[in-house]
Chain A
Amino acid sequence: MPATAAAAAANDAASWRERMPAAFGAMPGRRAMRIAGAALFAAWLAGALWWFGFSPARLWNGLAGLGTIISLMIPPSPGELWFDILRGLAESVAMAFLGTFVAALIAVPLGFLGARNVVTNTLFRFSLRRFFDGMRGVDQLIWALAYVRAVGLGPLAGVLAIATAEIAVLAKLYAEAIENAERKQVEGVVAAGGGRLARLRFGLLPQVLPVMLAQALYFFESNTRSAAILGVVGAGGIGLQIAERIRVRHWDEVAFIILLMVVTVAAIDWVSGRLRRRLIGGPAATA
């Protein structure tokens, strides 16, 4: 009798629904929470859009202006001061290189000081780590602006800004790399009669050096990107060139500089990526 079977099944489903409502969909309370959350989100979105002036007319006018700018950008041209552009580019790369190098050099001892398996004083290590975290919250551009006031306009302020901003990040990464190193080598050095420094030099350093180098190279890559814009606040490099040309609305030259930046960053990524793979792929990094 199919009809009675169906009725029984329906009856069964109804009784199950009564007994375990949670298995048949969200509970009313949860559903209300969800609706309230969505309403809150929509209210925030609408409020923020209104606050920041996202009106269709303004967007439309802006897009029209942007269209004009883009049409003026084509074709990109180096302009008459192409030598300044090239020098700015070289300055940017040099700033990134020197800044990263200085930061890495200073970050190595700091990383050892911040590693749990080297420094056992928890309070010292904890405060050092929190200090790094705080430094990390300050953007490179802020450092650059401050250094421009301190040492004057020019690429030196950019070098100092990159170095200061990266010391904290690199020191944290180095400390983590050191904490992840194997203890066996260190114990071997201790067993062979090595002192405190020998333990670091022959037990830990050979394990972490390739990782440290690879990370420094990676930051060199990312710093070439940021060195390209530090000039916007006067810290030298190609950013200065691009900001000047935007100020006088030479859009074709702006487009040329942007393309040049993209190509340079890609080239440095490629070279440094190959170097990093060689470093990490070496037998020393298998630990």
Chain B
Amino acid sequence: MDATPLAAAAGGGPVPAAWSPAIGKGEAAFQAARRQRRAAALFALAALLACLLLSAWVSEAHPATLLAGLPRIGEYFWRILPDLRWDALLAGADTEGSLAFWMYRLDSWAWLLFETANMAALATLFGFCAGLLLAFPAARNLSGGGLGYQLARRSCEALRTIPEIVFALIFVWAFGVGALAGILAITLHTAGALGKLFAEAMENADMRPWEALRASGASWPQACRFAILPQALPNVLSYGLLRFETNVRSASVIGFVGAGGIGEELYKVISFNYYEEVSAIILLIVLAVASIDLFSERLRHRAIGAVGGAH
């Protein structure tokens, strides 16, 4: 008795009549559910396959192009790698194969990286302030969902959805080539992204302090400042610092369109095929981003601890 249902289920055959009707019904329901799941899985797989073929066709990823491209990719990344030799690794900048030869313009690259980090910091600061100002009207529990709410929410969305590079392309026309355009571009995107996050943090705040302050005659800005901001501050600070890390990455590439930072140098180096310098700059960017991430993570924990301990 205990072996047959398994065999029947595995074979998918008809249910023997000797079984009790309850088992038969259960077995039939199981088979039906299984068929349904299989059909759904097959359908999903077919849809996925169709999407894949379509997207491969649209993005010109033909097998032939791919096969022709693969060796060239390998060759390119091989040529980027520095030609280091063990015996000359620590020799001066004049010896081919030494670290100093590879990083022969370390001083100017380090300065550019410093500029990039400063651009990111300035853009984060401005975007943080703008986002905070936008967040109070964009929080539904504070603004009541009127015209101001809609306006603040929609502007946050618009600023967030338009990529920084597009802003930068436009600002390079308006403000001229240079870091100013890049900073403003990152600022706008940051304001939109942070405004939404801050508004959500404020919507989660406890409303009783707000009601108490409003009842005792506080104006709207006063109530925002003293009832909501202290509650949202830990979240707000940690989102702001997280954004700084993201912005360092953005600032490292915004120079591709002429908006300052190390990106301009990287664009030049890649375009002119200065192979070894490409890997040198990318390595420096990775190191800088990693160290800023570490530093900002520590700062974030300290800031949250300090603010959280204050009340």
Is A262 touching B69 in the complex (CB atoms < 8 A)?
Answer: no
Minimum C-beta distance from A134 to chain B (A): 5
Does B299 count as interface, using CB distance less than 8 angstroms? no
- Which one of B58, B163, B173 contacts A94 once the chains associate, using CB atoms below 8 Å? B58
Interface residues of A in 228-248 (CB under 8 A from B): 228-229, 232-233, 236, 239, 242-243, 246
B122 at the interface (CB under 8 A from A): yes
Interface contact A138-B285, CB-CB below 8 Å:
yes
Q: Main secondary structure on chain B at its contact with chain A? A: helix
CB <8 Å contact, B51 and A225: no
Q: In the complex, are the beta carbons of A147 and B58 less than 8 A apart?
A: no
For the complex formed, measure the closest distance between the CB of B116 and the CB atoms of chain A, giving whole angstroms.
Answer: 12
- Cβ of A208 < 8 Å from any Cβ of B? no
Indicate if the CB atoms of A62 and B73 lie closer than 8 Å: no
State the Cβ distance, B289 to closest chain A Cβ, in Å. Answer: 4
CB atoms of A97 and B55 under 8 A apart: yes
Known: A146-B80, A151-B72. A94 touches B55 (CB 8 A): yes
**Which one of A66, A101, A160, A229 contacts B165 once the chains associate, using CB atoms below 8 Å?**
A229
Interface residues of B in 191-209 (CB under 8 A from A): none
Which one of A49, A53, A142, A243 contacts B178 once the chains associate, using CB atoms below 8 Å?
A53
Instruction: Decide yes or no: A233 and B256 within 8 Å by CB, A146-B270, A258-B162 being known contacts.
Output: yes
Q: Would you give the 0/1 interface string for A34-69, flagging 1 where the beta carbon is closer than 8 Å to chain B?
A: 000000000001001101111000110111011001
Q: Is A183 an interface residue (CB 8 A)?
A: no
Give Cα distance in the complex from A138 to B51, angstroms: 28
Cα–Cα distance between A63 and B175 once the two chains are bound (Å): 8
The reply on A154 being an interface residue by CB < 8 A is yes
Interface residues on B, range: 35 or more
Q: Is the CB of B166 within 8 A of A258?
A: yes
| B161 touching A266, Cβ below 8 Å | yes
**How far, in whole Å, are A145 and B270 apart by their CA atoms in the complex?**
7
State the Cβ distance, B118 to closest chain A Cβ, in Å.
Answer: 5
Inter-chain contacts of A158 with B (CB < 8 A): 59
Whether A94 and B54, one on each chain, are in contact in the complex, defined by CB atoms closer than 8 angstroms, is: yes
Is B2 part of the contact surface with A, judged by Cβ < 8 Å?
no
A249 adjacent to chain B (CB < 8 Å): yes
When distances are taken between beta carbons in the complex, the residues of chain B under 8 Å from A145 are 256, 266-267, 270
B93 to chain A, nearest CB (A): 25
B75 → chain A closest CB, angstroms: 8
Are A48 and B289 neighbours in the complex by a CB distance under 8 Å?
Answer: no
**Which residue from A49, A159, A258 sits with its C-beta under 8 Å from B59?**
A159
B250 within 8 A of A: yes
Q: Chain A interface: which size bin?
A: 35 or more
**In-complex Cβ contact of A98 among B55, B76, B162, B180 (8 A):** B55
Q: Which of B55, B161, B180 contacts A265 (CB 8 A)?
A: B161
Identify which of residues 53-90 in chain B touch chain A, using a CB-to-CB cut-off of 8 Å.
54-61, 65-66, 69, 72-73, 75-77, 80
Q: Is A205 an interface residue (CB 8 A)?
A: no
Tell me whether B285 and A137 are in contact (CB under 8 A): yes
A contact residues around B278 at 8 Å (CB): 146
Please report the C-alpha to C-alpha distance between residue A159 and residue B62 in the assembled complex, in whole angstroms: 12
- Closest CB in chain B relative to A59 CB, distance in Å: 8
| Residues in B whose Cβ lies below 8 Å from that of A53 | 178-180
A residues touching B (Cβ–Cβ < 8 Å)? 45, 48-49, 51-54, 58-59, 61-63, 65-66, 69, 90-91, 93-95, 97-98, 101, 133-134, 137-139, 141-142, 145-147, 149-152, 154-156, 158-160, 225-226, 228-229, 232-233, 236, 239, 242-243, 246, 249, 254, 258, 261-262, 265-266
Q: Which 8 A-B pairs have the closest CB atoms?
A: A94-B55, A62-B175, A150-B76, A65-B174, A94-B58, A137-B286, A151-B69, A155-B59
